[in-house]
Amino acid sequence: MPVDTVGTDDRLRAGSRGDETRPGSAHDAWRVVLSEAASLVDETSRGAAERGRALGEFRRALDELRRAHDRLEARVAERTAELARANEKLRDEALERARVEQARTALQRQLATLQEDERRRIARDLHDQTGQLLASLSLAVQAVGADGALPARSHGRLAEVQRVSDELGRQVHEMAVRLRPTALDDLGLPGALGQLVADWSARTGVGADLQVTGLEVERLPAEVETALYRVVQEALTNVAKHAHARQVSVTLGRLGLEATLVVEDDGRGFAPDRVDPGRLGLLGMTERVTLAGGRLDVESSPGAGTTVIARLPADDRAGPADA
């Protein structure tokens, strides 16, 4: 813009005001107009150039933006693909872990079954063979005792042999029962538990009662019955060893698809979360129940007695799938 203190209109007006008489005044006016026009054209074209430049810049900025956007899109696509790959890897790993875990559980169950079979075999041998031999020994000792020709001093010794032989027979029988309760096979779970609880109470002098409901007709899966029997065995052993209880109650009930066993004592209790990790009884119970498809909870606190609760599938189909 030309620096001009007087505006074009003023100059035009100045040029025309009463100066018609002055030669050259029209010429001057035209000069002014022409120069103004020239500067207008100048200015306009300069504006056009500026607009062109601005437009160019705008276009360049747009292009840059478009390129940045494309680059971003490419990065996003890349990251998405990476994430998809990572996801797939994780899924594969999870599947593999699940497979390994399943195989481990199947193996453990197989081991538990094998162990139970082995115990059953040893228990049978103990009962049928060792037990029979001891019974024969006992009879033979009685026969010798009945022999009138025996010197009197031998009678005392013979009585001692008889006592040891009877004690051996009792211990072998107990060992066989502990190893594998034939009662479980012969009497079913309620009968076997009845025997176990009564024997335990007589042996320890601790009062015990048993209540079974809902198991009058159908039997539970063999693995579940064995697990429940073992839980009662270990829970009662713990009561005798640790609880100083006066009374224990054992209840077993079946409700729909679940069998629930509760062993509750009124003893001194303990803190289940502070059990020495080297102790295997509670761990073994938990393991056995878990393998049979159930769960075990121990509720106790010092001074408040102990309750062991096992929940197991009452139905073969509810147990873990055989692998």
Stretch that binds ligand ADP, among 47-55, 124-132, 278-286, 312-320 (CB under 6 A): 278-286
Only segment of 2-10, 59-67, 266-274, 286-294 that touches ligand ADP (CB under 6 A): 266-274
Q: Which of 59, 241, 246, 295 binds ligand ADP (CB under 6 A)?
A: 241
Is 267 a binder of ligand ADP (CB under 6 A)?
yes
Shortest spacing between CB 118 and Mg ion, in angstroms = 22
Pull the structure tokens for residue 318.
């509810």
Kindly tell me which of 149 and 271 has the beta carbon lying closer to Mg ion.
271
Rounded distance, CA 318 to CA 220, Å?
A: 11
CB nearer to Mg ion: give 238 or 306: 238
> Which CB sits closer to ligand ADP, 292 or 296?
296
Position of tokens 């100045």? Answer: 14
Contact between 270 and ligand ADP per CB under 6 A:
yes
Short-list 248, 250, 233, CA closest to 305: 248
| 240: partner contacted, choices ligand ADP, Mg ion, none (Cβ within 5-8 A by kind) | none
Q: How far is CA 312 from CA 11, 48, 279, 288, 323, in A?
A: 111, 89, 23, 11, 19
Q: What is the rounded distance in angstroms from the CA atom of residue 293 to the CA atom of residue 313? A: 6
Question: Binding partner of residue 267 among Mg ion, ligand ADP, none, CB under 5 to 8 Å per kind?
Answer: ligand ADP
Q: Is 309 helix (H, G, I), strand (E, B) or coil?
A: strand
Q: How far is the CB of 298 from ligand ADP (least distance, A)?
A: 7
Q: Residue 218: which of 250, 257, 180, 182 has the closest Cα? A: 257
Please list the residues that pair with 159 across neighbouring strands.
none
Q: Which does 270 bind (CB under 5 to 8 A by kind): Mg ion, ligand ADP, none?
A: ligand ADP
Q: Work out what residue 275 binds among ligand ADP, Mg ion, none; the CB cut-off runs from 5 to 8 Å by kind.
A: ligand ADP
Minimum CB separation of residue 249 from Mg ion in Å reads 19
**What is the pattern of x (binds ligand ADP, CB under 6 A) and - over residues 279-308?**
xxxx-----------------------x--
**To 10 degrees, the CA torsion angle through 270, 265, 281, 279?**
20
Shortest spacing between CB 234 and Mg ion, in angstroms = 6
- Binding residues for Mg ion, rule: CB under 5 A, are 238, 281
3-class DSSP state for residue 6?
A: coil
Give the 3-state secondary structure of 29-94: HHHHHHHHHHHHHHHHHHHHHHHHHHHHHHHHHHHHHHHHHHHHHHHHHHHHHHHHHHHHHHHHHH
Distant-in-sequence, close-in-space partners of 284: CB < 8 Å, separation ≥ 6: 234
> Binding partner of residue 53 among Mg ion, ligand ADP, none, CB under 5 to 8 Å per kind?
none
Contact residues for ligand ADP, defined by CB under 6 A = 238-239, 241-243, 265, 267-270, 275, 279-282, 306
